Amino acid sequence: MRRIFFWAHFVMGLAAGALILLMSVTGVLLTYERQMVAAAQNAAVEAPAGAEPLSIEALSQAAAALGGAPGNTLIIQRGASDVVTLSKGRRDSVLLDPYTGEVLDGAGEETEAFFGRVMRIHRWLAFTGGRNELGAAVNGAANLIFGALLISGVVLWWPRKWKWPLVKMQLFFRRGLTNAKARHYNWHHVLAAWSFVPLFLIIVSGAVFSYSWANKLVYAAFGETPGGQRAGRQPAAAAPPVLTGEVQPLDQLVAQATEPFSNWRRVSITLPEPNATTLELAVDWGNGTQASKQRSVSVARDGSGFIGAPVGDISSPASKARRYLRFVHTGEIYGLIGQTLAGLASIAAIVLVYTGISLAIRRLIRIRNSSKA
């Protein structure tokens, strides 16, 4: 049985090694994409000497002058010199200078374009243009083969006898190995052991993105269907407030909304209708992807206080699981540490491919020499 697993592992590794290597290399490049794009965008802001950033009220007026309408979102960062984002839709947003309220044309565009191309190669093998259906199918299959390699590798890695001297050889790098074959064999086993869990999560979450059947399995596990409505209990709707005074400036209302969240990083303001009595905001003290660190808040526009309690994620269990898988793939669900672990796992995958192919070629040469003999 072990021999069957070995040859299956051997053949699959040779068949998909190059594709797995490409996905791993692009995965490493994408490790800190979010932070690097944000840094490139913020670098476009030039703070005038001694100047103070505009008030949120002034920024909302600048957004309105640029076509911002009620229902659009104005995203304010905690950093005074960070860009402000006006989001008019999922793929329609502009960046504003926090000191002038003017559009920052081209801010971070080159960095975004680079990571966009890397992402398209990573997901769809699209070296030019947009989504490549054939490339997406090939990459999806390579990801499944990588999963099969990981599982068959566990069988091959498993020590015949669980004695510490033998197990230690499979868990730690060894010194003094005299040839490349021995070193590669040691590296292959050690890195496979330590990177198994993050690589398994990356592979499983990648399959959910690639295949509708995998996505449906996630929903079926919670008794739901994609796009269905089986949400948990909705918070009780608060009675609409009655304005008892004049509408207060946005700065005061945002300060009131963020007061319970002293470590907030960004706040997303839904631009209100002129006669609206409440202001809807989303306060985030995470990296923008962690639902557990986000709250929706409603405050009365006359400054009289909160309307109801802050509300967390009310998505259905399946939707929460799907969101978890989306960001466990990049590690972002666990913040900077998670991103770093995902990047290190991708580096480990690169070395696994290299050492695996190296060992496979050596075996093929031995087989050829034995055949000639």
Quick: pLDDT tens for 107-157.
Answer: 999 999 999 999 999 999 999 998 999 999 999 999 999 999 999 999 999
Element spanning 73, H or E? strand 73-77
Q: 0.85 cut: is pTM over it? A: yes
pLDDT band, residue 243 (cuts 50/70/90) = low
**pLDDT value of residue 207:** 97
Q: Render pLDDT for 182-210 as a digit per residue (tens, 0 to 9).
A: 999 999 999 999 999 999 999 999 999 99
Report how far residue 356's alpha carbon sits from residue 352's, in angstroms, rounded to the nearest whole number: 6
Q: Give strand pairing partners of 93.
A: 87
Average pLDDT over the chain reads 92
Q: What is the pLDDT of residue 234?
A: 46
pLDDT digits (tens, 9 = 90+) for 329-340: 999 999 999 999
Which 8-state DSSP code applies to residue 253? H
pLDDT given for residue 230 in this prediction: 47
Provide the 8-state DSSP code for 34: H
Work out the widest C-alpha separation in the chain, in whole angstroms. 97
Mapped onto helix, strand or coil, the DSSP state of residue 5 is helix
Residue 51: its pLDDT value, please? 87
Instruction: Sheet containing 92-96: give its strands across.
Output: 92-96, 84-89, 73-77, 266-270, 278-284, 294-300
Domain range list for the chain: 2-34+112-226+326-372, 44-107, 250-314
